[in-house]
Amino acid sequence: MANMGGISEQSAEDEEEELRQAFRVFDKGGCGYITASDLRAVLQCMGEDLTEEEIDEMIAEVDIDGDGRIDFEEFIACMCEDKTDVKRQDPFDD
């Protein structure tokens, strides 16, 4: 049973690294935060064409400290919240 803690710890480290890699996709300038233009560029690559207002709303929803951009901690909070919401959904609920 002693290994269980190690497995859990490794899983958490793997998950954090995956989140860092995802964050880097959005952080086009490598400056440590995601701007509205960073978000727009990624979404356009995915075929999404949102208005400036829609992009600003997306940033505002995640921007905890109100500085107009998303740092890694805010990104993690958003991603973990999304995972929690998915886990709560009942697959048999119509």
Model pTM score:
0.73
The b/e string for 63-75 (b: 16+ C-beta within 10 A; e otherwise) is: beeeeebbbbebb
Residue 7 lies in a domain: no
Residue 16 lies in a domain: no
Residues in the chain: 94
- 53-66 pLDDT tens trace: 999 999 999 999 99
Residue 64 lies in a domain: yes
Q: Specify whether the CB–CB gap between 41 and 28 falls below 8 A.
A: yes
- 7-43 pLDDT tens trace: 666 688 898 999 999 999 999 999 999 999 999 999 9
Residue 8 lies in a domain: no
Residue 2 lies in a domain: no
Residue 59 lies in a domain: yes
Decide: helix, strand or coil at residue 92: coil
- Domain count for the chain, please give it: 1
